[in-house]
Structure 1
Amino acid sequence: MTTDTTAQGTAPDATAPGTTVLDARGVTMRFGGLTAVRGVDLTVGSGEIVGLIGPNGAGKTTFFNCLTGLYVPTEGEVRYKGAVLPPKSFKVTAAGIARTFQNIRLFANMTVLENVLVGRHTRTKEGFWSAVLRGPGFHKAEAASRTRAMELLDFVGLADKADHLARNLPYGEQRKLEIARALASEPGLLLLDEPTAGMNPQETRATEELVFAIRDMGIAILVIEHDMRFIFNLCDRVAVLVQGEKLIEGDSATVQGDERVIAAYLGEPFEGDPGAEEAAEVAQAEAHAAGTRAETATTKDTGTATDTATDTATGSTGATGDDATPGKENHR
């Protein structure tokens, strides 16, 4: 079934166009002696799609975790609509930031509808006692949540599978369900971590259309992806992380044409490469070791040649004693 990408109005937490939704400043994340993310600045505006790319191990998912409260940055701060985000993931979700994960994290034994209803918990005002007593307010809120959840399932093309177990969905539809669950929290910013990983070209194209439709609802989007065709077709701006540092940020043409980006993906060193100093030290050490080996070999070869020349000059080439003396036969 194809995705219905008709935008259904404006998202409740949508912001006026041109407004900065996410403002990450100097975000650094250290794990002991390892610096996974170093001084990264990034902004995302309302109604904008920003891509985050980089080689494996560049720190992209770690940066996402810093934005969503799973990690508390060692240094720097993250602001959402001007307010510093609290260091708790559920509070970040309540503030208006939702995300999907690189590895699908659905509730496999719950239905498709129930998975989306889980995403509504931050927008449900009924408390513990209301759920226990199940008064009129509880039933009204539950009905409203079910209605909104079905709207989102229709939006991603899964309304006819609302009663299916999540584990029985094909891979591509599980990805859609995860996006629907994230949208259920009514975010102003949606973070997508490799949304097309493992998809075929048709599924990738459907995901691209879905992301555009979400953007048209007024939701800002930050996406990590390794499919370069997908990311450059989709994004207004692209930022590149290399070894935890932001290398460049710009439009698709600027990033694609940057020699440093090409070198980073091909594994070639470039001037200003984070870690280039360490690589230079290693190269210098290897060159010194190679030079020492060459010098030793040269000395050894020179010594051998000298010995050979000496032996030849003294007649030590197989003859012994006076038999090797020129003209001796004339004295016999």
Structure 2
Amino acid sequence: MADGLALHQVGVRFGGLIALDDVSLTVGPGEVVGVIGPNGAGKTTLFNVVCGFATAHTGTLTLDGRPFRPRPHRLTRLGIARTLQGTGLFAGLTVLENVMAGATHTARTGLIPALLGLPRSDRDERRLREHARAVLADLGITEYADAAPDTLPFAVRQRVALARALAARPRLLLLDEPAGGLGADDVDSLAELIRGLPHRASDPCAVLLVEHHMDLVMAVCDRIVVLDFGRVVATGPPEAVREDPAVVDAYLGAALDEAA
């Protein structure tokens, strides 16, 4: 695959613990790819490798066919954004300001003009504010723009966190358990939103999703990668993974039955 993200036989160790072992996967433009597996399978480590918080001891990463050595502070400029487990919102900022923070890497002015309140800094702020409002509208949460995040229902805060990530205009969005803590209706709404991300009229993005909520994974993913003890034990479209006897017996079992 020339375009998009690829991991090639990646291995990660922490002392004597093997966190990832010979892991390969791809996320191409327009795809939603899910990563599932039991606790401790290596899902978060995989995300951390892509974000530069963990280093691959073996194997390589590529982005659009070129060597990719991720650094956390450079990700947004490369078109990669990530949400966190929970929401990770800034309590001292309004919803609108939180979303604006996701797009600050696009600001044309530096810190000194902003501190001095120079005209160019004002123009940057207006532009970021308008962009943030457009993202909030796209996600249907404009009415909460001036609210403090901790005053909002959890499902709304989750959507604000997603808006902040999308404000960076990523071409690849890493979603870390976005359905955690959501009720059935909110999960259905989230699934519809995720399915639409690669097909948005403006700023479409591919998605790499780590999630325990199996009905969400089965509903939105084009392909699923199953990890266990740091190794890939199955990969393929949802229907193939669902029917894989080894996957069902060892990892999913009742969870898949509930999602059926």
| TM-score, normalised relative to structure 2 | 0.91
CA distance in structure 1 between the aligned counterparts of 2:2 and 2:58, rounded to whole angstroms: 25
1:46 paired residue number: 29
Deviations 1:229-280 (A, max 9, x none): 111111111110011011111111111111110122169xxxxxxxxxxxxx
Q: 1:143 aligns with which of 117, 126, 130?
A: 126
CA distance in structure 2 between the aligned counterparts of 1:128 and 1:200, rounded to whole angstroms: 41
In the alignment, is the contact (CA less than 8 A) between 1:242 and 1:264 conserved in 2? Answer: no
Q: Could you say which structure has the higher strand fraction?
A: 2
1:212 paired residue number: 195
Q: 1:159 aligns with which of 142, 149, 159?
A: 142
**1:82 is matched by which residue type in structure 2?**
G
**1:248 is matched by which residue type in structure 2?**
A
CA distance in structure 1 between the aligned counterparts of 2:34 and 2:99, rounded to whole angstroms: 26
Q: 1:56 aligns with which of 32, 39, 55?
A: 39
2:171 paired residue number: 188
4+ long deviations beyond 4 Å: none
**1:187 is matched by which residue type in structure 2?**
P
The answer to whether structure 1 residue 35 and structure 2 residue 21 are counterparts is no
Deviations 1:179-206 (A, max 9, x none): 1011111111001011111111100011
Q: 2:250 aligns with which of 264, 271, 281?
A: 264
User: 1:20: how far off?
Assistant: 2.6
1:243 paired residue number: 229
2:105 paired residue number: 122
In the alignment, is the contact (CA less than 8 A) between 1:52 and 1:238 conserved in 2? Answer: yes
5 Å matches for 1:1-332? 20-217=3-200, 218-265=204-251
In the alignment, is the contact (CA less than 8 A) between 1:85 and 1:92 conserved in 2? Answer: no
Percent of aligned pairs sharing the same letter: 39
CA distance in structure 2 between the aligned counterparts of 1:103 and 1:52, rounded to whole angstroms: 18
Deviations 1:65-118 (A, max 9, x none): 111112122222222223333442111222111011123211122110111111
Task: Report SS of the residue matched to 1:20.
Answer: coil
CA RMSD in angstroms comes to 1.6
Q: Which runs of 5+ in 1 are unaligned?
A: 1-17, 268-332
CA distance in structure 2 between the aligned counterparts of 1:210 and 1:108, rounded to whole angstroms: 25
Higher radius of gyration, 1 or 2: 1
User: 1:56: how far off?
Assistant: 1.2
In the alignment, is the contact (CA less than 8 A) between 2:50 and 2:70 conserved in 1? Answer: no
Change (3 A) 1:125 1:83: farther
Task: Report SS of the residue matched to 2:53.
Answer: coil
CA distance in structure 1 between the aligned counterparts of 2:77 and 2:218, rounded to whole angstroms: 31
In the alignment, is the contact (CA less than 8 A) between 1:71 and 1:87 conserved in 2? Answer: no
CA distance in structure 2 between the aligned counterparts of 1:200 and 1:133, rounded to whole angstroms: 46
Comparing 106-115 with 129-138, greater Cα deviation is found at 129-138
Task: Report SS of the residue matched to 1:214.
Answer: helix
Q: Matched residue pairs, number?
A: 250
In the alignment, is the contact (CA less than 8 A) between 2:177 and 2:212 conserved in 1? Answer: yes
